[in-house]
Amino acid sequence: MENRLIGLRKSMEKTTFKHLNFSEKQRKKVYEKINKTYENEEDVFLAVLQLLISEKTGYELAKLLRGRGIQKFEGNEGFLYTILHRLEQNHLIKSSWDNSGAKYYQLNDKGRKTLRKAETTSTKKRLILKELIQG
């Protein structure tokens, strides 16, 4: 089996991948993705909850998360809105629209209670936020 795989690799290098070249820019992007720091999901959720004590738009929230050094949303802002939607579905935040059409997010009572629990001990924080992520 190994010999067939080695033969397949060699033949693909000669045919399929022969014309495949990466520019320096493409290589840098690949290396950046590989070396990008991966924030712990629980820490990201905790930061979102902490920032939503006061009402914020998704754009404001993304800026503040970037200010905290969380780069998970760079080039992938949709992931932030997925988190906000999940928190909203779990009834931890509420949202409202203003007259200009901007959507604002803020913790509700259940969200504040969850935040207080999550901030008390790191072990509890992990368990509570893990439930939120999976829930």
Query: Distance (Å, rounded) from C-alpha 73 to C-alpha 32?
Result: 14
pLDDT tens digits, one per residue of 33-58: 665 555 677 778 889 999 999 999 99
Reported as half-sphere exposure (CB side, CA atoms, 13 A), residue 7 has a value of: 4
Q: How far is CA 42 from CA 21, 26, 69, 83, in A?
A: 39, 31, 15, 11
Model pLDDT, residue 125 = 58
Model pLDDT, residue 97 = 94
Model pLDDT, residue 50 = 94
Query: Distance (Å, rounded) from C-alpha 102 to C-alpha 86?
Result: 19
pLDDT tens digits, one per residue of 104-123: 999 999 999 988 888 776 66
Model pLDDT, residue 2 = 63
Residue 135: pLDDT band (50, 70, 90) is low
pLDDT tens digits, one per residue of 57-108: 999 999 999 898 888 887 778 888 989 999 999 999 999 999 999 999 999 9
Model pLDDT, residue 129 = 67
Handedness of CA 4, 7, 11, 12 (dihedral sign): positive
Q: What is the dihedral of CA 45, 48, 52, 57, to 10 degrees?
A: -130
